[in-house]
Amino acid sequence: MVGTETVDVVVVGAGQAGLATSYHLTKQGVDHVVLERQRVAQAWRHQRWDSFCLVTPNWTVQLPGFTYDGPDPDGYMKRDEVVTYFERYLESFRPPVRTGINVDSLDVATSDDRLRLTAGDWTFRARSVVVATGSFQRSKLPTLAGSLAIDIVQLHSIAYKNPEQLPSGAVLVVGTGQSGAQIAEELHEAGRAVFLSVGTCGRVPRRYRGKDTVWWGVQGGAFDRTVDSLQSPAEKFACHPHVSGKNGGHDINLRALARSGITLLGRLQSADVGTIRLAPDLQENLRKADEFAENILRQLDEGVGKLGLPLPEDTNPRGIGAEVYREVDPIRELNLREAGITSIVWATGYQPDFSWIHLPVFDAAGLPLQRRGITSQPNVYFVGLEWLHKPKSGLLLGVGEDAAYIASTIASRATSKSHQMEASI
C-alpha cells in the first residue's frame, strides 16, 4: 500500500481505549479511522495466560454503549470471554477499524498544520490524532537476567501461557504484582515447586463485609479521585495489588502461599550464571503488603461512612486465617541448579513505548505531558493511560469517561474552527 490519505481524526490503537474513543466520535458525527497494527483487542487475545480471569467483577466491564449484560455480574470473565465481549462490541456499532497497519511515526507535516502519520509506504494526514495504545507496550526485564546461565529458560509474564509450557523442574517467579502472584499460585497448584521473589506490591482482600472490595471502592468514590489529589506523581506508577478472579474470585495472601509450600524469597539483588543473591527484605515486604490491605479497608470504611451507607458485620473482615507465616531465616543466596530451578518467569512489569511520536509532548522520562488527555501540541490527545485523569482511566470501568471527554473536545474544536472560517468569509 503506497499513497496518502487525508482524514479528519486518526485513533491509533484498537484496544478498549481506541474503541471507546471511536464510539464517542461516531456519536458526535466526527469522521475518523482507527488504526491497529494487529487485531482488535490484541493484548487481551495474546498477552494473557490461558487461565487468565479479570480481577474486577464483570459489572465493571462498562465500555460506552455496551455495559456487561451477562448472567454473572459478580463473576470474573475468563480471557476468551473478554475477547468475545470485544467482538460483540465491534458488531454493536461497527467502528471504522483498519487492522494490520503499524504506525511508524507521528509528526507535523511541513506543508500545512496537519498531523502526519506514516505506516510503511502509506501516509495519513489528520486534523487530530488520539493515541490510544495504552501504558503497557513493552515488557520490562532486569539487566541481571542476562547474567544467568543459558540453560535456564526465561520468559516474561507477557509470554507465559500455562505450566506445561515450561520445562519440568522448579520455577522461580520474580515479582508479586497481580500477574506474578497469580502465576505462582497456578504453578504451585499444577504441582510445581515454586520459588517466589517478593516485591513491594500490596494485597487487597477479595471481599469485605459481604461485597467485593471493588464494589465498596466504587460506592465510596475511590475510583473517582482525580490525579491532582495524589500526594506524589510516583503514586501513578504503583504496582497493582495482588488478588485473583479465578474460581469465583479469592484472596492471594503471600503468607498463605508460603504455608501451602511456595518458597518466598526477598527481592533479587544480583545474579552470576547459576546463583542469585537476594535482599534481606522479605519480612519488610510482607509487612508492607499487610499494611496496604489494612489501609485499603480503612479507606473503604471511611468513604462509605461519609455516604451514610450501613457497614454490615463481618466475622473475618481481613480474610486472614488463624495461622501466621513467619520466615525466620530468609534465604540470601540460592544456587538455581541445586534448587532444581529450570525456568524463570519475570513478572516485572511493563513500560510504555511512544518512541514513534516525534512531538514535544513528553517529560524527561518519556511520559506524556497531558491534562485529562489534552497535550500542549494542538490536536494531539491521549486516552487509556493509567491515571490519565482518575485511577479508573486505564480500566474497562472508566476508559469510556475519558474517551467521551476527548471526543467532545475534538468535536467542539472542529465546530469552533468551522464557525471561525464562516465568519471570515
Count the domains in the chain. Answer: 2
Residues 184 and 323 in one domain: yes
Residues 81 and 202 in one domain: no
- Cell 535456564 found at: 152
Comparing 111-120, 156-165, 306-315, 400-409, which segment has the lowest mean pLDDT?
A: 306-315
User: The C-alpha cell of 412 is what?
Assistant: 467542539
**Mean pLDDT of all residues belonging to the chain:** 92
CA angle 268, 152, 43 (to 5 degrees): 80
Calculate mean pLDDT across residues 243-270: 95
Residues 214 and 243 in one domain: yes
User: The C-alpha cell of 425 is what?
Assistant: 468569509
Calculate mean pLDDT across residues 202-223: 90
Residues 154 and 275 in one domain: yes
User: Where does residue 261 rank: exposed (0-12), middle (13-18), buried (19+ CB within 10 A)?
Assistant: exposed
Residues 292 and 365 in one domain: no
Residues 103 and 188 in one domain: no
Smallest Cα–Cα separation from 327: which of 253, 255, 267? 255
Task: Tell me the per-residue pLDDT of 44-70, one tens digit each, with 9 for 90 and over.
Answer: 999 999 999 999 999 999 999 999 999
Give the whole-angstrom CA distance, residue 182 versus residue 193. 15
| DSSP 8-state assignment for residue 328 | S
Residues 49 and 103 in one domain: yes
Question: What pLDDT is recorded for position 110?
Answer: 80
Residues of the domain holding 227: 140-349
Boundary (domain end) residue, out of 284, 316, 349: 349
Q: What is the CA radius of gyration of the chain?
A: 23
Give the pLDDT band (50/70/90) at residue 424: very low
pLDDT beyond 60 at 425:
no
Instruction: Say how many CA atoms lie within 13 Å of 223 toward its Cβ.
Output: 18
Give the pLDDT band (50/70/90) at residue 136: confident
Q: Which helix or strand (DSSP H or E) is residue 25 part of?
A: helix 16-28
List C-alpha distances in Å: 292 to 108, 150, 228, 240.
45, 38, 21, 11
The set of residues, in sequence order, having a beta carbon less than 8 Å from that of 84 and lying 6+ positions away, is none
CA angle 14, 357, 375 (to 5 degrees): 85
Smallest Cα–Cα separation from 369: which of 349, 356, 354? 354
Task: Tell me the per-residue pLDDT of 380-422, one tens digit each, with 9 for 90 and over.
Answer: 999 999 999 999 999 999 999 999 999 999 999 866 564 443 3
Residues 129 and 176 in one domain: no
Question: What pLDDT is recorded for position 423?
Answer: 41
Cβ pair 108, 232 in contact under 8 A = no
User: The C-alpha cell of 153 is what?
Assistant: 529458560
The set of residues, in sequence order, having a beta carbon less than 8 Å from that of 9 and lying 6+ positions away, is 25, 30, 31, 32, 33, 126, 127, 128, 129, 130, 410
Give the whole-angstrom CA distance, residue 148 versus residue 152. 7
Question: What pLDDT is recorded for position 208?
Answer: 86
Smallest Cα–Cα separation from 266: which of 194, 330, 340, 337? 330
Question: What pLDDT is recorded for position 81?
Answer: 98
Residues 159 and 212 in one domain: yes
Comparing 191-205, 236-250, 303-317, 346-360, which segment has the lowest mean pLDDT?
A: 303-317
pLDDT beyond 70 at 222:
yes
Question: What pLDDT is recorded for position 420?
Answer: 46
Residues 342 and 362 in one domain: no
Question: What pLDDT is recorded for position 318?
Answer: 59
Boundary (domain end) residue, out of 318, 349, 380: 349
Residues 128 and 169 in one domain: no
Give the whole-angstrom CA distance, residue 203 versus residue 182. 12
Q: Which helix or strand (DSSP H or E) is residue 189 part of?
A: helix 178-189
Cβ atoms within 10 Å, residue 167: 11
Query: Is residue 160 helix, strand or coil?
Result: coil
Residues 95 and 184 in one domain: no
List C-alpha distances in Å: 357 to 63, 142, 352, 361.
27, 26, 12, 9
Comparing 237 with 266, which gets the higher pLDDT? 266
List C-alpha distances in Å: 89 to 41, 86, 124, 330, 399.
11, 5, 26, 49, 15
Task: Tell me the per-residue pLDDT of 290-329, one tens digit each, with 9 for 90 and over.
Answer: 999 989 888 888 877 887 877 777 665 555 544 456 655 7
CA angle 230, 232, 236 (to 5 degrees): 70
Cβ atoms within 10 Å, residue 424: 6
Q: 326: domain CATH number?
A: 3.50.50.60
Boundary (domain end) residue, out of 332, 349, 366: 349
pLDDT beyond 70 at 258:
yes
Listed in sequence order, the DSSP H helices in 29-78 are 42-46
Q: Give the global pTM.
A: 0.93
Smallest Cα–Cα separation from 330: which of 283, 298, 287, 292? 283
Smallest Cα–Cα separation from 158: which of 343, 13, 348? 348
Task: Tell me the per-residue pLDDT of 167-209, one tens digit each, with 9 for 90 and over.
Answer: 999 999 999 999 999 999 999 999 999 999 999 999 999 998 8
Smallest Cα–Cα separation from 410: which of 63, 111, 7, 112? 7
